[in-house]
Amino acid sequence: MKCPFCNKIMIEGFVYSAKEDIKWTPKDEKVGRVINTPKDTEILLAKLNFLKGCKIPVYRCSTCEIQLIIEKECNGR
């Protein structure tokens, strides 16, 4: 994948959590109080598997120092 800012090749990797689902929350929202239960305004990116943990694919541009998450690649969507 090419970086949308500098057009260089991005490095594929992942973000990992061993404790909770990974979800996106809008900036001005408080994170839901119930662990592993996203609120209506949150987007679940990866569901925790107690044996494997939870990871989402992320592309990183080392030049621009940005990361890119593509939602449809999360959890096999």
- Assess whether pLDDT exceeds 80 at residue 34: no
Position 49 in a domain: yes
Whether 43 and 24 have beta carbons less than 8 Å apart is answered as yes
- CA–CA separation, 77 vs 61, rounded Å? 23
Using alpha carbons, select from 40, 38, 42, 39 the residue that is nearest to residue 27.
42
Position 70 in a domain: yes
Position 5 in a domain: no
| Mean pLDDT confidence for 40-65 | 90
More confident residue, 75 or 31: 31
- Quote the pLDDT of residue 76: 52
- CA–CA separation, 23 vs 26, rounded Å? 10
Position 2 in a domain: no
Position 1 in a domain: no
Domain count along the chain:
1
Position 3 in a domain: no
More confident residue, 72 or 7: 7
The structure's pTM equals 0.77
- Residue 43, domain extent: 11-26+35-76
- Assess whether pLDDT exceeds 80 at residue 63: yes
- Quote the pLDDT of residue 18: 86
